[in-house]
A = this chain, B = another copy of it.
Amino acid sequence: MSYFDVASAAPLHPVARQALLASLDEGWADPARLYREGRRARMLLDAAREAAAEAVGCRADELVFTPSGTRALHDGIAGALAGRRRVGRHLVVSAVEHSAVLHSAAAHEAAGGAVTEVGVDRAGAVTAAAYAEALRADTALACLQSANHEVGTEQPVAEVAEVCRAAGVPLLVDAAQSLPWGAVDGDWSLLAASAHKWGGPAGVGLLVVRKGVRFAPRGPVDERESGRSPGFENIPAIVAAAAALRAVRAEAVAEAARLRELTERIRARVPDLVPDVEVVGDPVRRLPHLVTFSCLYVDGESLLHELDRAGFSVSSGSSCTSSTLTPSHVLTAMGVVSEGNVRVSLPPGTEDAEVERFLEVLPGAVAGVREKLGAPVGVTAAGTLDELTVDALGERCPLPVIELAKALPRVRVGGTVTVLSDDEVAAVDIPAWCWTQEQEYVGARERADGVAYEVRRLV
């Protein structure tokens, strides 16, 4: 049984467990009270704040604890936007931010604000130049993750921070995925993170606001956490979170090297072991423990079930594994295949043998799902037709792409296949499939009953 989804949530670190147990007895009282139990709680809270600030690389009075990474982002973005309300109401985010950032952006837009989304390349990275272009005179805030949570690509935070600094715009960094591995470089203004990503307990996020950054907390506040995060402090969990961060940092360099070797092995071997696979994300500038690939002609949910049965817990950005039936916005923004998507994120301590067993199990799991779906087996026929229309209306991902892959060999090189589909995922996956298969994606036409996607056979 191997849990390979630490990017969603990490099991509690043994050090965190110990710290939590100890502070359940010492840290339950109200730290605002004057009596001994309150003073003891306050001391624990102060010490945890010092430890967390040291790991982040900030002053203790710049850091507050929040109930989650999500709340840190929501409250951080809202507070930073309100603090610069006089400058303007323009917000810049990357297209591949965590949904908590994009939800904040959507709420800002709904309230009359303006939002610019900075696009990414096929590896999932932004450029500092694109941020420079997006900044305006009325830009109140820019947001950028330190590394992407779905594909592991590291972002050029220091360069983007420089560009923002030059324009006088604060940069908020979502450091949720990278903070366990090290402090975030560069002259950023705000930073958010989440303890359960580094082996701390759930219920603890952190929000850093550098001195001098204008910040006006939104909504009702109280006297807790410098007026930036209302509600009774969860001190035992905060103490455990700070202890875990310190512990994972102590092991970070060695563990990063070890896990990078393991994820590199997955990156290199999966395309050999499984036909029609696209490994996504930057191969070099990436998180050490995370690797993502998409298997054509496979639905993510079935593949996850197969892997779960085989003892591996992984996640997927495929549409069929989300309640909204839309594919991951990250994979969409990158323009890569979203069907049959698998994200592997290794927890510290993952053993070589587990990864080897995963590589043993994966090909059979993919083949099993493909067989059930009637996926093409990769034979390239010498087709003769000039054009062919395939009706995939009513069919869901990955079936429209499977129909396309089966039809294309029936037309001659230079001929076209038109796929009719009302599955919105096709808009992502058909162009991405063409890219991986080196075929030409001609374009899409809206119809009353769906969309017609046209593809020209090149090889």
Please give the residue numbers on chain A whose beta carbons come within 8 Å of chain B beta carbons, in ascending order: 1, 3, 5, 8-12, 17, 20-21, 24-25, 28-30, 32-38, 67-71, 74, 78, 99-100, 103-104, 106-107, 194, 196, 201-203, 205, 218-223, 230-237, 301, 304-305, 307-308, 312-315, 321, 323-324
Contacts A230-B71, A234-B201, A236-B201; is A78 near B34 (CB within 8 Å)?
A: no
How far does the Cβ of A180 sit from chain B's closest Cβ, in whole Å?
15
Q: Is the CB of B100 within 8 A of A220?
A: yes
A63 CB to nearest chain B CB (Å): 18
The answer for the CA separation of A416 and B202 in the assembled complex, in Å, is: 62
A244 CB, min distance to chain B CBs, angstroms: 12
Decide: A313 and B33 in contact? CB cutoff 8 A.
yes
Q: Tell me if A34 and B74 are in contact (CB < 8 A).
A: no
> Is B67's CB under 8 angstroms from A71's CB?
yes
Contact partner of A33 among B28, B33, B205, B315, CB < 8 A?
B315
Q: Are A74 and B230 in contact (CB under 8 A)?
A: yes
Complexed CA–CA distance, A75 and B323 (Å): 24
Some 17 contacts from A to B, beta carbons below 8 A apart, are: A8-B30, A9-B232, A11-B29, A12-B25, A29-B313, A34-B308, A35-B314, A36-B313, A69-B232, A70-B231, A74-B220, A100-B220, A103-B220, A196-B232, A201-B237, A202-B232, A223-B323
Judge whether B67 and A220 touch: CB under 8 Å: no
Question: Which residues of chain B are within 8 angstroms of A314 by Cβ–Cβ distance?
Answer: 35
| Cβ contact within 8 Å between A30 and B9 | yes
Contacts of A38 in B (CB 8 A): 313
A33-B17 contact, Cβ under 8 Å, with A202-B236, A203-B234, A234-B201 = no
**Do residues A202 and B313 form an inter-chain contact, with CB atoms below 8 A?**
no
Chain B residues near A219 (CB, 8 Å)? Answer: 74, 78, 107, 218-219
For A234, list chain B residues within 8 Å (CB).
67-68, 201-203, 237
Question: Could you tell me if B305 and A231 are in contact, using CB atoms closer than 8 angstroms?
Answer: no
Residue pair B196, A28 in contact (C-beta under 8 Å): yes
**Measured between C-beta atoms, what is the minimum distance from A297 to chain B in Å?**
20
Contact residues in B for A230 (Cβ distance below 8 Å)? 68, 70-71, 74, 100, 103
Asked if B33 and A11 sit within 8 Å, CB to CB, the answer is no
8 new A-B contacts, CB < 8 A, other than A12-B24, A70-B222, A100-B222, are A3-B29, A34-B321, A68-B231, A71-B230, A74-B220, A202-B235, A219-B219, A237-B237
Q: How far is the CB of A308 from chain B (nearest CB, A)?
A: 5
- Whole-angstrom distance between the alpha carbons of A231 and B69 in the complex? 7
CB nearest neighbor in B for A311 = B36
CA distance A103 to B29 in the complex (A): 23
Closest chain-B Cβ to A27's Cβ sits at a distance in Å of: 8
Chain B residue with Cβ nearest A39: B308
- Residue among A36, A71, A203 with the highest chain B CB neighbour number at 10 A: A203
Closest beta carbon of chain B to A95's beta carbon, Å: 17
A231, B308: Cβ atoms closer than 8 Å: no
Q: Are B202 and A71 in contact (CB under 8 A)?
A: no
Q: For residue A106, which residues in chain B have a CB less than 8 angstroms away from its CB?
A: 220
Query: Shortest distance in angstroms between A98's beta carbon and chain B's nearest beta carbon?
Result: 10
In the complex the two chains form, what is the Cα distance from A313 to B312 in whole Å?
A: 51
- Shortest distance between the CB of A55 and any CB in chain B (Å): 20
Measured between alpha carbons, how far is A230 from B100 in the docked complex, in Å?
A: 9
A25 to chain B: which residues have CB within 8 Å? 12
Shortest distance from the beta carbon of A69 to any chain B beta carbon, whole Å: 7
Contact B35 A203 (CB under 8 A): no
Interface residue from B21, B34, B67, B223 paired with A68 (Cβ < 8 Å): B67
B residues near A11, Cβ cutoff 8 Å: 28-29
The residue of chain B having its C-beta at the shortest distance from the C-beta of A77 within the complex is B220
Instruction: Pick from B12, B34, B37, B324: contact of A301, CB below 8 A.
Output: B34
